[in-house]
């Protein structure tokens, strides 16, 4: 991994929008409730850095859109609002030069819900759904819940190249298996932060086309395979509105759109009207806030890289995207006594609560969420170094 000194300069700190955050304790926040009432070995509160939502307030444009909708006062059953599909289409054209037909867009309560529908719509019982691993946990357990098979295609940690690589032989073997019907692509990849290159995506699409496998993606594919692909898009992570439960499925093929709701087996709820309002506002007006957030997250990535540099037995490949930081603790664990070799337990004992790599299919790893105020991250990183034995209390 290149040393921090050889990395690009860090952008200046952003506006005050990210310097302080509301207290989320006692609000039902999943992130903060996990460690509520628990203390570390020094009697301190365990600071949560696990689930992938940020502690920042959503941008004012989103809050104002929600207020306008609540001022209306009626919250009945709601299907896709008149401006939802066009707001997304305009956003994709403006940001990615991707032109879609608004008729292709269908609102879904979340990307995970959408993935569950594709498992039932495009694969039969017992057939396979492949994904790169390690991966966001629903990619591992959703196929099983639908009676399908989870097919793991492990990525390669290429420390000499400072990035994660695709094992093309393993990928082709998985897609060539006649029982594999879907490939779920997470891009940018969670938890590694890898951004697959255009060349890699085109090669993946070639293989999918060759073997008749449908790609389900949150990435744009300019390829013949895209004719039967389904792309999921959501404002939830970028603008911190995951709790509002709103995403979009972009489905060019009309027959798939017609069968979508039936494939959900009656388990796909309508989207709440606040989710529509927030998503439209984020796509239409949220880019200045997003740019400020990116400045902060680049700074936080640099802080995290510097914190793990030199930790004995700890390695990390610099994430190219997301606010997630994937840490390889396997060498550290191998050097510890068996009763002290769990990196998750070591962190919690030092007062920091990351995500456990076992949930992503990779024991010995940790995932750290960098989406919090800088002072909180600095304290978390200090405790991380304490957990792995480089500083005292």
Domain ranges in the chain? 4-58+287-387, 61-285
Question: What CATH number was assigned to the domain covering residues 61-285?
Answer: 3.40.640.10
Residue 57 has pLDDT above 50, yes or no: yes
Residue 3 has pLDDT above 90, yes or no: no
For residues 278 and 8, the model is more confident at 278
The C-alpha atoms of residue 122 and residue 119 are separated, in whole angstroms, by: 6
- CA angle at residue 90 from 87 to 96, to 5 degrees? 130
The C-alpha atoms of residue 326 and residue 301 are separated, in whole angstroms, by: 11
| Residue 230, beta-bridge partner list | 216
Q: What is the mean pLDDT of residues 85-112?
A: 94
Residues 6+ apart with CB under 8 A from 76: none
Per-residue pLDDT tens digits for 212-249: 999 999 765 566 667 778 999 999 999 999 999 999 99
Confidence of residue 261 (pLDDT cuts 50, 70, 90): confident
Instruction: With both helix axes pointing from N to C terminus, report the angle between 111-122 and 254-263 in degrees, rounded to the nearest 10.
Output: 100
- The answer to whether the beta carbons of residues 134 and 155 sit under 8 Å apart is yes
Q: What is the mean pLDDT of residues 1-14?
A: 39
0.75 exceeded by pTM: yes
Residue 133 has pLDDT above 90, yes or no: yes
Q: What is the mean pLDDT of residues 259-283?
A: 90
Q: According to the CATH classification, is domain 4-58+287-387 in 3.90.1150.10?
A: yes
Residue 11 has pLDDT above 50, yes or no: no
Per-residue pLDDT tens digits for 323-367: 999 999 999 999 999 999 999 999 999 999 999 999 999 999 999
The C-alpha atoms of residue 184 and residue 180 are separated, in whole angstroms, by: 11
pLDDT at position 136 is 96
Residues 6+ apart with CB under 8 A from 374: 13, 18, 19, 296, 299, 300, 303
């Amino acid at each position: 991994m290149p040393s921090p000194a050889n990395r690009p300069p860090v952008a200046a700190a952003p506006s005050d929008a990210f310097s302080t955050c509301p207290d989320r304790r006692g609000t039902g926040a999943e992130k903060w409730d996990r460690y509520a009432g628990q203390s570390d070995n020094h009697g301190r509160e365990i600071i949560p850095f696990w689930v992938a939502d940020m502690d920042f307030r959503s941008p004012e444009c989103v809050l104002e859109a929600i207020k306008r909708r609540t001022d209306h006062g009626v919250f009945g059953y709601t299907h896709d609002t008149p401006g939802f599909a066009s707001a997304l289409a305009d956003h994709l054209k403006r940001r990615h030069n991707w032109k879609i037909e608004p008729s292709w867009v269908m609102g879904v309560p979340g990307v995970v819900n959408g993935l569950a529908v594709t498992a039932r719509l495009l694969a039969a019982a017992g057939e396979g759904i492949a994904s790169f691993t390690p991966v966001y946990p629903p990619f591992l357990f959703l196929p099983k819940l639908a009676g399908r098979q989870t097919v793991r295609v492990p990525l390669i940690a290429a420390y000499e190249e400072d990035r994660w690589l695709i094992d093309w032989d393993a990928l082709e073997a998985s897609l060539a298996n006649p029982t594999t019907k879907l490939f779920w692509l997470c891009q940018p990849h969670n938890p590694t932060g890898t951004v697959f290159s255009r060349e890699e995506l085109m090669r993946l699409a070639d293989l999918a086309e060759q073997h008749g496998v449908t790609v389900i993606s949150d990435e744009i594919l300019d390829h013949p395979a895209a004719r039967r692909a389904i792309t999921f898009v959501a404002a939830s992570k970028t603008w911190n509105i995951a709790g509002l439960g709103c995403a979009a499925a972009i489905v060019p093929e009309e027959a798939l759109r017609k069968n979508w709701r039936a494939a959900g087996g009656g388990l796909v709820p309508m989207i709440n009207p606040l989710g529509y309002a927030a998503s439209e506002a984020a796509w239409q007006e949220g880019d200045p806030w997003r740019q400020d957030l990116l400045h902060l997250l680049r700074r936080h990535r640099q802080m995290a890289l510097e914190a793990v540099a030199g930790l004995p037995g700890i390695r990390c490949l610099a994430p190219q995207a997301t606010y997630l930081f994937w840490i390889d603790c396997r060498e550290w664990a191998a050097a510890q006594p068996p009763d002290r070799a769990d990196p998750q337990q070591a962190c919690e004992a030092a007062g920091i609560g990351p995500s456990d790599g076992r949930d992503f299919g990779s024991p010995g790893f940790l995932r750290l969420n960098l989406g919090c105020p800088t002072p909180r991250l600095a304290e978390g990183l200090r405790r991380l170094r304490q957990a792995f034995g480089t500083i005292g209390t």
